[in-house]
Amino acid sequence: MGKSTVATMFRAVGVPVFDADAAVHVLQGPGGVLLPAIEAAFPGTTGPRGVDRIALGQAVFGDRVALRRLERIVHPAVGHARQKFVQRHRAHRIVVDDVPLLFETHGEHRVDAIVVVSAPAWMQRRRVLARPGMTAAKFASILARQVPDNAKRRGADFVIPTGVTAAETRRHVVDLLACLRRHGVRYCASCARSSSTPKPPA
């Protein structure tokens, strides 16, 4: 959907961004604290370089029970890393929690506002299938586990479009931050519900 691109835009204007995917890579990388638990649950999926992502993917692909077992190992550790990140940046008024599965993991209660990054379905498909190792079957499996984009948009306080030019997306980010910093979440969310983007501060 362009989530990483938007996260980079937030960082560029000085907003701390917790990257849940990056945290998972550290936890599962060489010497990662999750390696013993993952190896015990899925033998042969780890080694000196950390998790073998291909082997682990094969172990859980299409198996909901196995996927839940992996999530029970990974999610609490990522939550702990997030708490430490927020604590380190407590002096900032705004901190972004870059999470790929917020609705799916029922994490709405952890945040003050939800920003959904959205692009047309055809564009999402083209971007995902361009990734190394991605197949149409894997993409379909991923989509089946996710809340549909239209439902996420309905559940969001703000929607940032990425099916437009980078400059337009950046303008949405800048306008949103300006509104939040000046007026706060409640006011800006009300603006967003009555227009496509928050109104720029007066």
pLDDT digits (tens, 9 = 90+) for 42-79: 999 999 999 998 899 889 887 889 989 999 999 999 99
In degrees rounded to 5, what are phi and psi of residue 140? -65, -40
Over residues 166-194, mean pLDDT: 83
Residue pair 189/35 in contact (Cβ under 8 Å)? The answer is no
pLDDT of the residue at 174:
93
Alpha carbons 75 and 28: distance in angstroms, whole number: 12
Mean pLDDT along residues 185-200: 61
- Residues 118/160, Cβ–Cβ less than 8 Å: yes
Q: In the predicted model, is pLDDT for residue 199 greater than 60? A: no
